[in-house]
Amino acid sequence: QKEVEQDPGPLSVPEGAIVSLNCTYSNSAFQYFMWYRQYSRKGPELLMYTYSSGNKEDGRFTAQVDKSSKYISLFIRDSQPSDSATYLCASRETSGSRLTFGEGTQLTVNP
Amino acid sequence: DGGITQSPKYLFRKEGQNVTLSCEQNLNHDAMYWYRQDPGQGLRLIYYSQIVNDFQKGDIAEGYSVSREKKESFPLTVTSAQKNPTAFYLCASSIRPGLAGGNNEQFFGPGTRLTVL
């Protein structure tokens, strides 16, 4: 079993829709949870991170972690065509430097 | 301009050849990483280095080698022993874990796409 699992999609939504992206993880030692955005043929860039359980909001983006169910979510409100990209969730332990990535979900927002 | 550079952007290799991918950073980061990305498999860690002259194997190190002689540079050699080397290779760097007091974000380079002919 992979330590971080993510539905690869693809996911296609109309402009303005609310997008929900999700991951599950199995390692109870994971404390940091990240979402990276990767445009086609580019390197990933960090979008948001959260520590332990809870919500974090940044503009149209909300990251949510539920440690009791080992569930990680990213919500995008008022989605735009420029949000079209692959979204990767990642997790790591408190003391470690290694990130464990999900497979990535390919999102297309149609104008 | 601070950041991570990878070269070349595209690389073609004949079977049986070794090739070296370059990764340079001017962020003064201690830690550097190499990942491989294949469709449907996310990013998989090949090697990482937390300090100069030291590195550790990741999850898929077989057929690869690295060196870390300078803080700024972490080249990856794809050897002929790597049976399926065609992939997108990503280099990343971060501050040393434990120094941040929080998240040690990994910054990624633009990637090198390697194709075996």
* Window from A52-56, A57-61, B1-5, B43-47 with minimum mean pLDDT: B1-5
State whether B102 and A41 contact (CB < 8 Å). no
Q: Nearest CB to B97: which of A43, A88, A95?
A: A95
Strand locations in B19-101 (E) = 19-25, 31-37, 43-51, 54-57, 64-66, 76-78, 87-94
* In the predicted structure, residue B117 carries a pLDDT above the cut 60: yes
* In the predicted structure, residue A25 carries a pLDDT above the cut 60: yes
User: CA of B88 to nearest chain A CA: how many angstroms apart?
Assistant: 9
User: CA of B111 to nearest chain A CA: how many angstroms apart?
Assistant: 6
Q: Does A46 touch chain B (CB under 8 A)?
A: yes
The pLDDT tens digits of the residues spanning B39-49 come to: 877 899 999 99
Q: What is the CA angle A54-B101-B111, rounded to 5? A: 85
Q: pLDDT band at residue A7, thresholds of 50, 70 and 90? A: confident
How does the average pLDDT of chain A come out, rounded?
Answer: 93
The residue of chain A nearest to residue B57, with distances taken between CA atoms, is A98
* In the predicted structure, residue B97 carries a pLDDT above the cut 80: no
* In the predicted structure, residue B1 carries a pLDDT above the cut 80: no
* In the predicted structure, residue B98 carries a pLDDT above the cut 70: no
Q: Which residues of chain B make contact with A90, given a CB cutoff of 8 A?
A: 43
User: CA of B80 to nearest chain A CA: how many angstroms apart?
Assistant: 25
Q: Read off the pLDDT of each residue in B28-38 and give the average, rounded to a whole number.
A: 95
* In the predicted structure, residue A107 carries a pLDDT above the cut 90: yes
Q: Which long-range contacts (CB under 8 A, 24 or more apart) does B14-20 make?
A: B14/B116, B14/B117, B15/B80, B15/B116, B15/B117, B16/B80, B17/B80, B18/B77, B18/B78, B18/B79, B18/B80, B19/B77, B19/B78, B19/B114, B20/B75, B20/B76, B20/B77, B20/B78
What three-state secondary structure class fits A81? helix
Q: Read off the pLDDT of each residue in A60-67 and give the average, rounded to a whole number.
A: 96
Q: Answer yes or no: are the C-beta atoms of B110 and B22 closer than 8 Å.
A: no
Q: pLDDT band at residue B101, thresholds of 50, 70 and 90? A: low
The pLDDT tens digits of the residues spanning B57-73 come to: 999 999 999 999 999 99
Q: Which of A7, A58, A99 to mutate to test the interface with B (most CBs of B within 10 A)?
A: A99
* In the predicted structure, residue B89 carries a pLDDT above the cut 70: yes
Q: Does A95 touch chain B (CB under 8 A)?
A: yes
* pLDDT, position B99: 58
Query: Nearest to residue B60, comparing CAs of B80, B34, B40?
Result: B34
User: CA of B38 to nearest chain A CA: how many angstroms apart?
Assistant: 9
A90 forms beta bridges with A34, A101
Q: Read off the pLDDT of each residue in A20-49 and give the average, rounded to a whole number.
A: 94
Q: Does A6 touch chain B (CB under 8 A)?
A: yes
* In the predicted structure, residue B104 carries a pLDDT above the cut 70: yes
For residue A21, the tally of other CB atoms under 10 A from its CB is 22
Q: Read off the pLDDT of each residue in A30-54 and give the average, rounded to a whole number.
A: 92
Q: Read off the pLDDT of each residue in A20-33 and give the average, rounded to a whole number.
A: 94
